[in-house]
Amino acid sequence: MLKGKKILIGITGSIAAYKMPYLVRLLKKEGAEVTVILTPTAFDFVTPLTLSTLSENPVLSAPYKKENGEWTNHVTLGITSDLFLIAPASASTLAKLANGIADNLLITTYLAARCPVFIAPAMDVDMFRHPATQNNIDTLRQRGHLIIDPAEGDLASGLKGAGRLEEPENIFKIIQDFFLTKQNLNGKKVLVTAGSTCEPIDPVRFIGNHSSGKMGVAIAEEAASMGATVTLICGKMTNIHESKWIRVIKTETAQEMLNACLEHAPDNDVIIKAAAVADFTPQQVSSEKIKKDGNALKTIELKPTVDILAALGKQKRKDQILVGFALETENVIANATRKLHDKNLDLIVVNDATQEGAGFHCNTNIITLLFPDGTTSAFEKKPKRLVARDILSAVCAIIP
């Protein structure tokens, strides 16, 4: 599986660097070609001798050799690698990656990299929680990189909380799964919807919902990293940047999202509808801002919107895969099964909104996948990007 894959590993100055020789060994055993880059402070935590012995490659750190001026070609490293893993990524490296501060070989290589980048932060709990670190992580996530969230537990400082580098076996599994599923969406076109629609009441107010669009964005980014060409149709407040592989179409109302979906669906192999579409829209939109006059505003009459997913189910071709979501608070499986059949879906992703760590605004989700033949697979709580991978792996397994 990993035979011949060129994996670049960037190690930074964090105590968790001690876990990395073991990961290098796991990757080598599976046939990967591993090259390690150390930042200057990483030398205090792990030795180049250990890493060069296990990787069977010289460990890189300096931009050039002082004794003879030989240049380390970071551009070639970035271009020829199949994957760049930065682990452990310290708070300082995250800041440099987010802002392009190219003062060491790891960052210059990152800036030249054309391969997928996986970043596994590790630091003390308060450093990890700090808005500066979280903003940098958000920036890197939005750039399409996979963030391998740190695990919770005992930290080197004696404190407890999130900040432990994910265990080498789990990082190995993530890399292995990536190469296993990656090829499967090569050349495929994937349409994803995300976020909330906004139904105007008057020029300044609307009816919306709490959907941040994070789940749909994670699916779009993951599909792109698996080789697909992605179109993301999302609510206007969904946070995503257009990239070479993800075309973003922003829509406001359910009607606009419907129009965009009907236009683009025929051209796609896979359609995943993660958007939280309003079920109702005001019958009439006031052309002026509705003024308060001290009395109750008695009624805003609402009419139903078109169910976009059901409309796409009606026009679905045999060679297309249509995936819906079901957000439920009661009779979860029964309600989702009904939606799966009524809307002619190939797969439905079920969320129980009452579970902690699932649903709106979280960075995690807890899903169950439900197939038309009645089979189900339930997953534990995971970061949304890994949830996206579970969904797309299931899609790859049923794609014609």
DSSP code for 371: -
Residue 175 or 258: the one with the smaller Cβ distance to ligand CTP is 258
Q: Which of 57, 73, 170, 209 is catalytic?
A: 209
> 41 or 368: whose CB is closer to ligand CTP?
368
Our finding on whether 219 is near ligand CTP (CB under 6 A) is no
Residue 213 as a binder of ligand CTP (CB under 6 A): the answer is no
DSSP H helix total and E strand total for the chain: 13, 21
Alpha helices in 68-186 (DSSP H): 74-80, 91-99, 105-112, 125-129, 131-142, 168-182
Judged by CB under 6 A, does residue 340 bind ligand CTP? no
Q: Is 209 a catalytic residue?
A: yes
**Chain centroid offset of residue 210 CA:** 19
90 in Cβ contact with 14 (< 8 Å): yes
User: Cα Rg for the chain, rounded, in angstroms?
Assistant: 23
Return all residues near 100 (Cβ < 8 A) that are at least 6 apart: 107, 111
Q: Does 165 bind ligand CTP (CB under 6 A)?
A: no
* Residues 365 and 215: beta-carbon distance below 8 Å: yes
3-state helix, strand, coil split of the chain in percent (to 5) is 35, 25, 40
Distance CA 159, CA 168 (A): 21
Can you tell me the distance from the alpha carbon of 321 to that of 146, in angstroms, rounded to the nearest whole number? Answer: 25
Residue 273 touches ligand CTP, criterion: CB under 6 A? yes
Task: Give least dist CB 193 to ligand CTP, A.
Answer: 6
The answer to whether residue 309 forms part of the interface with ligand CTP (CB under 6 A) is yes
* Phi, psi torsion values for 77, nearest 5 degrees: -55, -45
CB of 184 to ligand CTP, least distance (A): 22
Query: Can you tell me which of 45, 178, 206, 325 binds ligand CTP, judged by CB under 6 A?
Result: 325
Binding residues for ligand CTP, rule CB under 6 A, total 14
Closer by beta carbon to ligand CTP, 170 or else 355? 355
End-to-end CA distance of the chain: 23
Return d(Cα 90, Cα 213) in angstroms, integer.
28
| Six token digits for residue 68 | 């003879």
Is there binding between residue 235 and ligand CTP (CB under 6 A)? no
Q: Does 324 bind ligand CTP (CB under 6 A)?
A: yes
Q: In the set 107, 220, 327, 386, which binds ligand CTP (CB under 6 A)?
A: 327
Rounded Cα gap, residues 32 and 21, in angstroms: 14
Q: Which residue stretch of 77-85, 133-141, 319-327, 354-362 sits at the interface with ligand CTP (rule: CB under 6 A)?
A: 319-327
Alpha-carbon span 79 to 328, nearest angstrom: 45
Tell me which stretch binds ligand CTP (CB under 6 A): 52-60, 64-72, 199-207, 269-277: 269-277
Instruction: Give the nearest distance from C-beta 277 to ligand CTP in angstroms.
Output: 4
Q: Of 35, 305, 320, 337, which lies in the binding site for ligand CTP, with binding defined by CB under 6 A?
A: 305
The DSSP code for 45 is T
- Residue 243 vs 368, nearer CB to ligand CTP: 368
State which of residues 82, 199, 221, 307 lies at the interface with ligand CTP (CB under 6 A).
307
> Of 31-39, 65-73, 148-156, 306-314, which segment contacts ligand CTP by CB under 6 A?
306-314
The label of the residue with tokens 């995300």 reads 194
Window 351 to 390, contacts with ligand CTP (CB under 6 A): none
Q: Which residues contact 225 (CB under 8 A, 6 or more apart)?
A: 116, 144, 146, 178, 182
Nearer to ligand CTP, 9 or 270 (CB): 270
Name the one range near ligand CTP by CB under 6 A: 109-117, 121-129, 178-186, 303-311.
Answer: 303-311
- According to DSSP, the residues that pair with 37 across neighbouring strands are 10, 60
Residue placing its CB nearer to ligand CTP in the complex, 24 or 326: 326
Q: Is 214 in the site for ligand CTP (CB under 6 A)?
A: no
Q: Work out whether 277 is an interface residue with ligand CTP (CB under 6 A).
A: yes
The residues binding ligand CTP (CB under 6 A) are 254, 273, 275, 277, 279, 305, 307-309, 324-327, 339
The residues assigned a catalytic role are 209
